[in-house]
Chain A
């Protein structure tokens, strides 16, 4: 199975600070169709998860452009240019290139 390793485990940031979350996969996430099926998911406290980014860097509709995704092969990064209060929660990376699909363990973003 593909292991997704997220760092850090938690982040404590003030409003307006930048954030960066790393996700590393145990094997390349480039599919045989040439696409890289890496997504970022946010779960706010008490809510269902919500997808923010898919195919490494494509923002879902309604997601603020302070969020960005980058990376390739086995190393991926989620960045928030300036953290806002609504950004707190747990962020997960998820790979859908290889079965069984797998999530990272999550990164908890807390506000300082």
Chain B
């Protein structure tokens, strides 16, 4: 099992960014997937979940601003981040259902 995040970077407040998580080593379409973030020096913060049938749930802090999605043909999970705030600055991890496997994370920095 391998999960590889990409798409992070420095972005201004109010702007958008799209993260990707490329999955391999398992039948991606059969598993729900999570995004979890970690602000610098802080603990883990659950962000969003998408089921194998593409049902979605979000943390209150990101609801209405972030969108989780998946492309099973490409074995890829996405997180669209809109209306970014400084408090969204964090390492973003994707993880497989029940957090059994994690990616290496990708840094998102929101700053002017």
Physical interaction between A and B? yes
A→B interface (CB under 8 Å): 1, 37, 39, 41, 43, 48-51, 54, 60, 90, 92, 94, 96, 99-106
| CB <8 Å contact, A96 and B103 | no
Judged by a CB distance under 8 angstroms, whether B102 is at the interface is yes
Interface residues of B (CB under 8 A from A): 34, 36, 43-46, 49, 57-60, 93, 95, 98-100, 102-105
What is the interface of chain B mostly: helix, strand, loop, or mixed?
strand
Nearest-Cβ distance from residue A16 to partner chain B, whole angstroms: 28
B103 near A102 with CB under 8 A, answer no
Minimum distance in angstroms from A1 CB to a CB of chain B: 7
- Contact assessment for B105 and A48 in the assembled complex, using a CB-CB cutoff below 8 Å: yes
| Chain B contacts for A92, CB-based, 8 A | 43-44
Known contacts A92-B43, A106-B43, A106-B44; is A54 also within 8 Å of B57 by CB?
A: no
In the complex, number of A-B residue pairs with CB atoms less than 8 Å apart: 53
Q: From A104, which residue of chain B is reached at the shortest CB distance?
A: B43
Asked whether B46 lies within 8 Å of A102 as measured between CB atoms, the reply is yes
From B43, which residue of chain A is reached at the shortest CB distance? A106
CA of A50 to CA of B102, assembled, Å: 7
**Chain A residue, CB-CB nearest to B46:** A101
Name the B residues within 8 Å of A54 (CB-CB).
98, 100
Q: Return chain B residues, CB-CB under 8 Å to A104.
A: 43
